[in-house]
Amino acid sequence: MGQTNSPTLNNGRLGFSNSEIQLFLRCPRRWLTEYYWGFLPANPSPLGAANLGTRVHLALEAKFGYGLDPGTVLDILYGAEVANHPDLARELNADLEMSKIMVEGLLEWMDAEGHSSKFRYVAAEAEVRVPLPGFDGIDLRAKLDQIGQWTDTGLYAFLDWKTRDVLQPLVLLRMDPQMRFYSLVQWLAAGYPPPQPGRGLPDTAGMPPLVLGGNVAQLRKVKRSRQAKPPFYQWDPFSHTPEIMASTLIKVQATVAKILAARAALDDCYARGGNLAEIDFLQKSMLGPVWISHDCSWSCPLAKGACGMMDDGSAWVEHFVGSGAYVQGDPYERYSRQSIAALVSAAG
């Protein structure tokens, strides 16, 4: 592999998101290809569950954070995709119809259940970077979800929107590392001492409020026809204790240390000329894959052939560089994609 992807620095500091950290834990080989080499699918499909979920999330963020009509936002988002992929117009318009049905139903359900009156929206999504305790020149970075306040308790929580085939129970939502990471980043950004086991809550007098927990609104991907059986929506508040925050910080620190060790080994190899045999050994050993058939087959682009080539002695370097299936880019570019500001302008 002749050229590596330079990491995105901010004032000379390297930042790690929850997405990068979780991808390294899930599969070091995929982290290697996406975050170190920067190889991303050349022509990603605009279809699929993840894309639908992203657009629904953006429409609801625009509704509750900026007062935009979510249907109009979905029209703008899908209209842009149809313009870019006219051959997929029928499928995209079907996804648009599904998205509108889900969002309209959610808003009606929230009003009927009283959720709209119990949760006050106080802050829109925001990009945040904070120094990672115990590391020099390393930041945690996040695009924090919207923040709301419970009108009955006064407590603050992140608000997220998830589209599902099957609604998940609260116990699984509370374990989601994304919300724990958000709460940790907000804790550190607010200026509190790093959470430590057994320390409990810090003194909050005169300090910004902590956002310890979240509320996940789940939307089932169904059209709510007569044949469909409810529930179609779920509203799940949960909180995180200071002990959970301390555990989250420990795990983040441990994982970042492993990522930095992997980067150091790769950087050293390239500094000495980038011997392919040594790189091949690293990608099979400390950065070997974690194969889970029912997950890899639909979620990972490497499962379409590249992962097997990296094990069986095939010309995998040529595949990444010359097949046309991949392009090199910045995996953090998603932080700057389709902004709310652009949607506000487009919606008039």
Domain ranges within the chain, ordered by starting residue: 9-43+251-336, 45-113, 114-240
| pLDDT tens string 28-67 | 999 999 999 999 999 899 999 999 999 999 999 999 988 9
The pLDDT value recorded for residue 7 is 63
Q: Does 263 or 173 have the greater pLDDT score?
A: 263
The first and second tokens of residue 323, run together, are 């097949």
| pLDDT tens string 225-277 | 888 999 999 999 999 999 999 999 999 999 999 999 999 999 999 999 999 99
Cβ neighbours for 187, distance < 8 A, ≥ 6 positions apart: 195, 210, 212, 245
Mean pLDDT for the chain overall: 91
Mean pLDDT value of segment 157-170: 93
Mean pLDDT value of segment 94-100: 97
Sign of CA dihedral 53, 58, 63, 64: positive
Record: fold of 114-240 = Trna Endonuclease; Chain: A, domain 1 (3.40.1350)
| pLDDT over 90 percentage in the chain | 77
The pLDDT value recorded for residue 342 is 67
The pLDDT value recorded for residue 3 is 47
pLDDT range class, residue 347, cuts 50, 70, 90: low
Q: Which pTM value belongs to this model?
A: 0.91
